[in-house]
Amino acid sequence: MTFVALYTINNSARSIARLCQVSRSAHGTAEFHSFVARYSTLRKCAFLPGGKWSFTRAITRQMSQASPGRISLGRYGRGVFLAAGAAAVTGILTAGVSHFQRAEMATKVSKVEEEEGDIRERCKSFMSLPVTDIKVLEQRKDAMSTRMEMLIMETQAAFCRALEEVDGGSFRVDRWSRKEGGGGISCVMQDGKVFEKAGVNVSVVFGNLTEEAARQMRSRGKVLKGKDGKLPFCAMGVSSVIHPKNPHIPTVHFNYRYFEIEEADGSKQWWFGGGTDLTPVYVDLEDATHFHKTLKKACDKHHPKYYPDFKKWCDNYFYIRHRAETRGIGGIFFDDLDSPNQEEVFNFVKSCAKTVVPCYLPIVYKHLNDSFTPEEKDWQQVRRGRYVEFNLVYDRGVKFGLATPGSRIESILMSLPLTARWEYMHEPTKGSREAEMLEVLRNPKEWI
């Protein structure tokens, strides 16, 4: 069952009305209204049939006409959007629009949501209990490792709930442990209605770096001084790759991570890394603009050079050298980020993590019912082959995971699609949409 949401945007004397669909899950009604109340865009919503809705912080509703019932976000629970922000809700509600340019895809987060709050209460919205024991997290609640673990758990939960809403399926949640220290939570949905394979992983591991892993880091300019040949480390992150069935819905990837190494004198080196990037099968200027604008807004809150620098870094990093083409149309990517200070870098990473729903879900909803031909599906399979090539040959995360004892191989290779295709000497027909896509991949462009 669906409700149709009608919202208006008044930039001048005329109001531009748009329609979008919000699915109502069979799981029941969630207390969604408190999120909506914080955002001016959603306060303009009227839900049909019936009359206008108004929202208050007390989670009350008043209707000027007959009440059609409540909006349901299914399994979305209280607090689940702390990681992705209420902008995620805006993204979902506006997801069915035909043009992104006139819709306000907000990425701003209210001060209330910036507050990190009670750890035990926040854990209730997660897909699983955190990797680290809750009592330990409470004891060291101000430590960066604790704050980052809470952020990645919230990001995982927010993104999984959003994907479940659009697909109608549910994630398989696997907890795993690593005998050397730590573990993770893998959430995977396969053969859904919308997504062929969707994975959202959290890992929190610690122990001593292997020589191979240390060598990889030294190759990136890290000066690491161990004690008795040992380098104690702690690494954590959230990583996701989504492979849709419909070739008109792009693949998306994001990863946000934190690393600490304790050196011989007891001092710690730390850094953050991550990014979000989009891999479409066909060029859609509207989608690309929306995706990059959402990321740019998050970056601009912290430094005007972040978006242009990290967009360029993304294009360079996700480059398949043996094919002379990029994996997709980019986004942002950064690594070894340790300045200006830990708090400011963490806040930047948090802003980026909160964009993962609003930058992607509107695109999914837009193309949800697009028809496609067998030839378009074949082209999707060819492009997925390129995705596999990059991940297995060049990806740092895959390399580090495979070089770390006790790593969970199933989680590392979660990023690979269920199906892919390699055709001998494949070249798209000149002037085709496939050729247009390949041209963009061979010559990355600015989207905004």
Closest CA to 127 of 153, 163, 145: 153
CA distance 162 to 176: 24
Annotation says 253 is catalytic: yes
Packed helices 86-93 and 356-366: angle between N→C axes, nearest 10 degrees: 10
Torsion of CA 379, 92, 102, 282, to 10 degrees: 0
Q: Which residues contact 382 (CB under 8 A, 6 or more apart)?
A: 421, 422, 423, 426
Per the CB < 8 A criterion, the answer to whether 329 and 311 are in contact is: no
**Phi, psi torsion values for 272, nearest 5 degrees:** -115, 160
Catalytic residue among 33, 243, 248, 253: 253
Q: Which residues contact 13 (CB under 8 A, 6 or more apart)?
A: none
CA distance 203 to 132: 10
- At 211, list the tokens: 């020589």
DSSP character string of 141-181: TTSHHHHHHHHHHHHHHHHHHHHHHHHS---EEEEEE-TTS
CA distance 445 to 422: 26
Q: Which residues contact 301 (CB under 8 A, 6 or more apart)?
A: 351
- Widest pairwise Cα distance in the chain: 75
Per the CB < 8 A criterion, the answer to whether 58 and 43 are in contact is: no
Give catalytic residues, as residue numbers. Answer: 253
